[in-house]
Amino acid sequence: MPDAHTPQVDVAIIGAGTAGLSAYRAVLQHTSSVRLIEAGVYGTTCARVGCMPSKLLIAAADAAHGIADAGRFGIRAQAAVVDGAAVMARVRSERDRFAGLVVEAVESWPQEHRLHGRARFVDPQTLEIDGPAGRSRLRAGRIVIATGSRPALVPGWQEKLGDRLLVSDDVFSWHDLPGSVAVVGAGLIGLELAQALHRLGVRVHLYGRGGLLGPLSSPGLRPLAQQVLSGELPMNTDTVAIDVAREGDEVIVRSTLSGGASHEARFDWLLCTVGRRPNLDGLQLGNSGLALGASGVPAFDRRTAQAGSSPVFIAGDAAQDRPLLHEAADEGRIAGDNAGRFPDVRVHPRRAPLAVVFSDPQMMIAGASHAELVAAGTSFETGTVSFGDQGRSRVAGRNRGALEVYGERDTGRFLGAEMLGPAAEHIGSLLAWSVQRGDTVQQMLDCPFYHPVIEEGVRTALRDLRRALRMGPRPVPNCLDCGPGG
């Protein structure tokens, strides 16, 4: 029997990040009996330690690189002098502005809707909250889990390296740039930060496994990304083992490569970017009655955000589905809407997948990736274009990379794309729209392409795809030597 003295609400939302805030707004369309519970400071991962501060650092790096690269245009510029303290002051100032806007929005909401404290399950519909005024309980008809994620660490490294071990969150609190950093983890976060720090004059070495660099899965694009980016940024992405040690204030990194060769280097810091883990371990989910997967995440339907048939919903990075801001916002909206209208749970269509890496050249995947199409057994063809000789890209001195586009053999429907190249952040959005609409390759080619723009390369790739769809299967393209751009 529930305690008669325990406050009750229709919906409780655990976590006030991107997903939690989106869920709160959606819940209000159905009920005002809601509590938003947050253990830390308000302000999303994106605003505080993710998308925005990393792009501030990249913007500074791009400015420095532009000066260093001016000679190709016949412009003689003195070498850039990077004021690390000034760079980081701007990063922190603008970061605080972005985060402050989120805080202002949340604090403008009714005070009775907000609870500060750490929540955990007592039973499927009762939460215990450790807050500033002590411990309390709350019963909720429905619960949304939107607790986000945190950087993962390699076991044992914290004990070996102490305060010389960093995660990405730490970077944006720096007051100056360091002299040297080892970056371990060659995914999206590691690649972006490693290249930005390198361009700002920090001695950087990037370590990864399996030859992976960023999210690209195409057998044509992966070696091209290695070739292009390793020409600027020191890296080993085929390590099979890494051992670390500390001597005084130095970090020693000993890596073994797939061929058996070894590499040793010393740095001021080690930045660990091996992924993120969901913030679920403090929720005592064993008391929730939910079925948990192998990773500890409740089994849920991504179209409804509902965990089984329970009144519990999960959204954002806590769900470990697509850990991107726009996906977290969508998931929060779905979870909040269904929590608010429960038991009238409705299926919500999901947007076409889209992921971008803000390296230089940029990377993107729109719609289905090459690996996803292969894994699903989809019958598809590939069209390619190289940006090496694409008109506008060459004019701007950004002529590196290639684009692959994928189409379904029987229907001619556009399925997705992978890209390494200029303006991938914009091209990715355009192609994701076509995936979501269900466009055919011919319908896309019927659309206008201005001249001279980088998007003309998309048209070239689509024309190549149309030819492949008409001619039938052909060898997998090698994007180290793709056809010319248009």
The 10s digit of each residue's pLDDT in 169-189 is 999 999 999 999 999 999 999
Q: What is the pLDDT of residues 255-304, one digit of tens each?
A: 999 889 999 999 999 999 999 999 999 999 999 999 998 889 999 999 99
**Domains along the sequence of the chain with CATH:** 8-40+117-151+277-341 (3.50.50.60), 157-274 (3.50.50.60), 354-481 (3.30.390.30)
Asked whether residue 29 carries a pLDDT value surpassing 90, the answer given is yes
pLDDT category of residue 1 using cuts at 50, 70 and 90: very low
pTM of structure:
0.93
Query: Which tops the pLDDT comparison, 367 or 472?
Result: 367
pLDDT > 70: percent of the chain: 96
Which residues, other chains included, contact 379 with Cβ-Cβ below 8 Å and sequence gap of 6+? 408, 409, 410
Which pLDDT belongs to residue 349? 92
| 353 and 432 Cβ atoms separated by less than 8 Å | yes
The whole-number average pLDDT for the span 406-429 is: 98
Asked whether residue 102 carries a pLDDT value surpassing 70, the answer given is yes
Q: Of the given ranges (107-121, 216-230, 465-479), which has the lowest mean pLDDT?
A: 465-479
Task: Tell me what the pLDDT averaged over the chain comes to.
Answer: 94
The CA distance from 109 to 36, in Å, is 10
> What's the token pair of residue 368?
């289905």
Which pLDDT belongs to residue 50? 86
Which pLDDT belongs to residue 41? 85
Q: What is the pLDDT of residues 455-480, one digit of tens each?
A: 999 999 999 999 999 986 666 566 65
> What burial class does residue 299 get, using C-beta atoms within 10 Å of its C-beta: 0-12 exposed, 13-18 middle, 19+ buried?
exposed
CA distance readout (Å), 71 to 78, 201, 230, 393: 10, 18, 21, 17
Q: What is the pLDDT of residues 319-354, one digit of tens each?
A: 988 888 899 999 999 999 999 999 999 999 999 999
Q: Which of these, 475, 332, 351, 356, lies nearest to 427 by C-alpha position?
A: 356
